[in-house]
Structure 1
């Protein structure tokens, strides 16, 4: 097993990889104690049938720069293959402001090719590569050095089997004509907005019972402070203070630090110093916001009344379309999507792009009363009216 620890060695590997049609990529990282993921290991493999074309890259090695890898990522002649790429891509976007192009995600492709919802790498290795996979090192501390041989074998297997999986799925997509379906899904993964966490929008994630504009204004200010503090100090937002403490503070509206210390839910570390000062300032801002600047419940986003019978029919239709196409039902439309369609909403992903081909067109025909569902044996069919 080759472990690259210098920029020159990484550049040599990436230069050779640029001569191949694809390269498989995976990462090992830690995020339990940080806001941003800490990259601890990088695995790369060129086409081949053994480990000779695969390497481990140690990003924690002194002086190692990932710029040769990023140059390979910019090379549009080489497909960069990942499995469940979202967290990997976030690392590269935060570090270098780029996405690998062109990109192929085997988890997305597998869902389109009939392997079920959110299919795991281990399942694909077993079903496509016909190999066992040792996952005993999955939850080890990848920041500790030296790495054990077991860790290295585990990490390398995440890119060596991926080569065969990619070649199989790419051939299936070509055969079925569904490559553009995967391309549509990957547009979301390579959209910077997917990874852009704006502090002023963080309050939307907080579950609250009250819709009072003043209360929501304080929640917004507290959530913005927490998000900014977490980003600036690279700590998880819940290490600053948890959601339940945020809601409690927004309800009690502490005026002094003594009031803040009376909180039942606030962690001890947040009752003093910069966090406590930030909390008090956020509450004050929320209390002083003019009425016209307070957040209010967005009634335009409220769903109209759902037709429950129509929603049930759409569920039957979705199941039939999923079975017929071999595409995971949740990839086509969620339960919430079906309720939205049954309530009359039309600006939905389930009714656009490849989903419209598979499900959306017939769903709209069903809603308009132009078709009915019929059952013949084990098969659900559409009948024109």
Structure 2
């Protein structure tokens, strides 16, 4: 089980990989105690079945320069194959300022090919590669050295079986004429904005029920402070203070240390020092915003705006069209999308690109009364009106 621990060895493998059409990639990392993931291991494999065709890269070795790896990831002549790539790509963007391209995500490809929603790697290995993955090292501390042989075997399996999975899915997409569908999905993963959280936008992740404009202003300032504090100190945002504490603070709006100390949900460490100071300053900034300049709260979707019967018909249509196309339903449209359509929405991801072809156009025709749904045995068919 080759483990690359020098820059020269990594450069040599990456030079070999650049001569192939693709390279399979995976990472092992830790994130429980940091804001940014700590890269602990990189697994790479090229086509072939020799011991030199799949390697581990140990980024924790002192003096190892990952520049050859970043260069390979940026090489447009080599497709980078991942399974469930989002977290891996975030690490590559954060650590190496590179997003692998061209990119092929086997989890997304499997959804396009009808393997279900968010299908796991083990499932694809079993169904396509007719193999199995040893799960014994799944929950392990990848930062500890030395790595055991069991850990190394587990890590390499994540890229060796992936070669067979990739070849199969790529061929199936080509047969079905859906390679372009996958390319549409990869565009989001290739966008650096996918992996960057701007502190001023952090409040948008909060779940707020019927908030007032002032509440939103305070919550936005608190969320921005927390995000900036977590990023600059590389600690999880929940270590600064949790969402429930943030919402409590936005409601109570403490003005001094005494009022801050009355919080039920704020951890003891957050009631002093830089965090306490940051909280009070954030609240003060929000309180100083003139009424006419307060942000508008996100408007909840009024249930009475949703045509419930139409929403149910759209669910039937989505299920029928997904089965017909052999594509996972959630990849086409979400339950929230269907409610939006039933409430009058006429634009969204569900009606762009290949989704419009598979579902969006018929969804609009159903809303406009130009088609009906009918049962034919165990199938649902579309009836023009």
The verdict on a shared fold, with TM-score over 0.5 as the criterion, is yes
- Determine if the alignment matches structure 1 residue 126 to structure 2 residue 160: no
**Counterpart contact for 2:210–2:300, Cα < 8 Å:** no
Write out aligned runs for 1:21-32 (5 A): 21-32=21-32
Contact 2:2/2:51, CA 8 A, preserved across alignment: no
State the shift of 1:342 in Å: 1.5
Q: Match of 1:311?
A: 311
How far off its partner does 1:291 sit? 1.9
2:288 is matched with 288
- Provide the C-alpha distance between the structure 2 equivalents of 1:276 and 1:260, rounded to a whole number of angstroms: 8
* 3-state SS of 2:305 partner: coil
Q: Does 1:41 align with 2:41?
A: yes
Matches within 5 A, 1:125-274: 125-274=125-274
Residue-pair matches, total: 385
The offset of 1:46, in angstroms, is 0.6
Shift of 1:301: 7.8
CA distance in 2, matches of 1:304, 1:189: 36
Bigger drift between 190-199 and 172-181 goes to: 190-199
Measure, in 1, the Cα distance between the counterparts of 2:291 and 2:111: 48
- Offset of residue 260 of structure 1: 1.1
Does the CA contact (< 8 Å) of 1:50 and 1:160 recur in 2?
A: no
Once the two structures are TM-superposed, the CA of residue 352 in structure 1 deviates from its matched residue by 0.9
Q: Any idea what the Cα deviations from partners look like across 1:93-115, whole Å, max 9, x if unmatched?
A: 11122211100000000001110
Deviation at 1:370, TM superposition (A): 1.1
Residue 300 of structure 1: how far off its partner (Å): 9.9
**Could you tell me which residue of structure 2 aligns to residue 276 of structure 1?**
276
Which whole-Å CA distance do the structure 2 matches of 1:251 and 1:364 have between them? 42
Match of 1:322 in 2: 322
1:127–1:294 CA distance, 2 compared to 1 (3 A):
same
1:92-141 deviation per Cα after TM superposition (whole angstroms, max 9, x unaligned): 11112221110000000000111000000000000000011101101100
Distance 2:177 2:381 in 1: 23
Root-mean-square deviation (Å) = 1.4
Deviates more, 1:206-215 or 1:152-161: 206-215
Given the alignment of the two structures, is residue 377 of structure 1 paired with residue 377 of structure 2, yes or no? Answer: yes
CA contact 1:303–1:340 (8 Å) conserved in 2: no
Structure 2 matches for 1:15-94, cutoff 5 A?
Answer: 15-94=15-94
How far apart in 2 are the matches of 1:50 and 1:379?
48
> How far does residue 289 in structure 1 lie from its aligned partner after superposition?
1.4
* Bigger mean CA deviation after superposition, 319-328 or 255-264: 255-264
CA distance in 2 between counterparts of 1:300 and 1:306 reads 12
TM-score normalised over the length of structure 1: 0.97
Alpha-carbon deviations, 1:33-81, whole Å to 9, x = none?
Answer: 1001110000000101354300000001101111101111121111110
- The answer (yes or no) to whether the contact 2:28–2:39 under 8 Å persists in 1 is yes
Task: Name the CA distance, whole Å, in 1 between partners of 2:15 and 2:304.
Answer: 56
Aligned to 2:342: 342
Q: Distance in 2 between matches of 1:182 and 1:327?
A: 12
Gapped regions of structure 2 (runs ≥ 5)? none
Provide the residue aligned with 1:114 in structure 2: 114
Output the TM-score relative to the length of structure 2.
Answer: 0.97
Establish whether residue 105 from structure 1 lines up as the match of residue 105 from structure 2: yes
Distance in 1 of aligned mates of 2:299 and 2:140: 46
